[in-house]
Structure 1
Amino acid sequence: MRYIKLIFKVLLILLIPVVMQVVVTMGLAIQMAVKLAQSGTSQEFIEATLQNSIASKLTLIVGLASILTQFIFFVASAAKGKSFTNDYTLKKISLKHIGLSIAVTLTGYMLSLGINGTFDMAAKDPKGAEAVAGLVMNMSFPTTLFIIGLVVPFVEEIVFRGAIMRNLKRHMPIAAVLVIQAALFGLYHMNLVQGFMAFFLGLNIGLAVYFSGSIWAGILIHALNNSISVILSRALPEDFDISKIGFILLLVIGLGLSVAIQSLFYKSKVEQPQVIEKEMIEAV
């Protein structure tokens, strides 16, 4: 019974950011539809304009939905009478763990690029690749960097390495927790291009958060990862390409270095407090 309740709780947590995106999208769509209808344009023109406008505002939609999601989680902590920082382990992180988090970001990014390039995920999911490109290219560079590089990573870490990982840890071994939260993080992105990268990113972040005892490690890794993606998308020429051998080398080197960095993280692991019986009862 407790596992059934856990599944429903995790699904509810996952639904919050998804529902917020739907709400924001519908709100913008209704606002634009009303303005277009008042101008006397045809139904076909309104539908086409809405589709293009929503696609061009995807970054803004994701940003607004993230802010609403963050507000909900903040209110939920307050309703339980808990400090938000304590509830989501926003604890001080050591300089050593900051350095290791940066290293995890760089090696993990190599690994993710290697996997996507080696298995040609963009060709397998062209619509997903188009959506990713639109997400980082449709708005100005400063706005995109702020939303994708800062706002989204913070909120997604609260959701996945905060709420979801915390609930899973109360019911199952940490190895299972790390894999499940990473898999959910990959599925949440709903396309192959981001999905595989997100799975390995989630695995790396989960380990870093667990070893450091602070979600700040995850926020730092996630923010740097997304910021690198935004910067490279703007800086690299459109015809830039890496050979298949290059991607394979990135995969192998990235995997080896990721394992090495995580082993260093493990050696400096912060001891985790025991979950007391009362907390376990509250969790279910």
Structure 2
Amino acid sequence: MSKTKEFLKIIGSLVLLIILTALVGVFLGLAGFNPNTSGAGIIVVLLSQLVFGVCTYLIIKKKNLYINDRGILKDSWKMIIIGLGTAGFGNILLSQVVMALGEDNALVKNSYDMLNTAFGTTNTFETVIQILVLVIVAPIVEEYLFRGYVFAECKKMFSLPASLILNGLLFGLFHMNLLQGINTFFLAIVLSLIYYHRANIKDNIIVHMSNNAVAVLPAFFPKALTVISAITIISIIFGLYFLVKICREKSA
């Protein structure tokens, strides 16, 4: 089968997952649950991630894919630094994008509205769900889906640079949000590099969890926002050092 057909299969799988996500909201709406109310969006996101998880499992099982998993290694702590660094870089990047477009830009406003609807919380229970979704469920599901399946399959057909870019584009588009899309594009490239060179999905999950945790921490420790920002900025330097070293070790 041609590369084009194989690649279209990957896109088809992602489109199907997006449709299933939409259906989750539709079914909840028919059941009398309004996903657009404050705090309700996070429940929809949780259910959507669970649907993603089941579908990803079925895809991997059907295609008999081998997911590289060496467990938590003695130097896996470095992945935390890389994750914090990607979060720091992402925050700087997004601030520049917002500054360039302007906070009154319709696309920027729409992006913020979508994020507030999806991840806004009004009580402790919803906040716990938010942490569960962003820091635990999403990183696990998305790493198996986008690195274990999408990137691995792209790498069979294309060069490493092309696979990195394609994975970044698909990961960004999958989030269907301008600001998230820009951020996740670069995050996906880092995660794909780590999966390629480390061959360990657990390392990917740690990086992804650390990155997402930065988005949640300010809500619990608003007074520590300056400290958190400083840590992520410092982590950019050390995270980049670790990432470059990882790539060189594999290439050596």
What band does the TM-score fall into relative to the shorter chain? 0.7 to 0.9
Match for residue 98 of structure 2?
120
SS in 2 for 1:269: helix
Instruction: Note the C-alpha offset of 1:260.
Output: 2.2
Match for residue 69 of structure 1?
52
Matches within 5 A, 1:29-68: 29-32=29-32, 50=34, 52-53=36-37, 56-68=39-51
The Cα RMSD (Å) is 2.8
Instruction: Note the C-alpha offset of 1:205.
Output: 1.0
Match for residue 186 of structure 1?
172
Instruction: Note the C-alpha offset of 1:156.
Output: 1.1
TM-score (normalizing by structure 2) = 0.83
Instruction: Note the C-alpha offset of 1:258.
Output: 4.5
User: What are the superposed Cα offsets for residues 103-137 of structure 1, whole Å, 9 maximum, x if unpaired?
Assistant: 11111111111111122167241121122233333
Instruction: Note the C-alpha offset of 1:79.
Output: 4.1
Matches within 5 A, 1:204-243: 204-236=190-222
Match for residue 142 of structure 1?
128
From 156, 171, 185, the counterpart of 1:199: 185
For the 8 Å contact 1:89–1:215, the answer to whether it is kept is yes
Aligned amino acid, residue 127 of structure 2: F
Equivalent-residue separation in structure 1 for 2:30 and 2:238 (angstroms): 49
TM-score (normalizing by structure 1) = 0.74
From 67, 86, 89, the counterpart of 1:111: 89
Pair 105,118 (structure 1): closer, same or farther in 2 beyond 3 Å:
same
Pair 180,103 (structure 1): closer, same or farther in 2 beyond 3 Å:
same
Identity %: 20
Match for residue 99 of structure 1?
77
| Larger RCO of the pair (alpha carbons < 8 Å, separation 6+) | 2
Equivalent-residue separation in structure 2 for 1:202 and 1:17 (angstroms): 18
Aligned amino acid, residue 87 of structure 1: Y
For the 8 Å contact 1:137–1:234, the answer to whether it is kept is no
Instruction: Note the C-alpha offset of 1:199.
Output: 1.0
Instruction: Note the C-alpha offset of 1:211.
Output: 1.4
Q: Number of paired residues?
A: 240
Gap runs ≥5 in structure 1: 34-49, 272-284
For the 8 Å contact 1:56–1:138, the answer to whether it is kept is yes
User: What are the superposed Cα offsets for residues 3-31 of structure 1, whole Å, 9 maximum, x if unpaired?
Assistant: 22122112122124312211210110111
Instruction: Note the C-alpha offset of 1:256.
Output: 5.1
Match for residue 240 of structure 2?
259
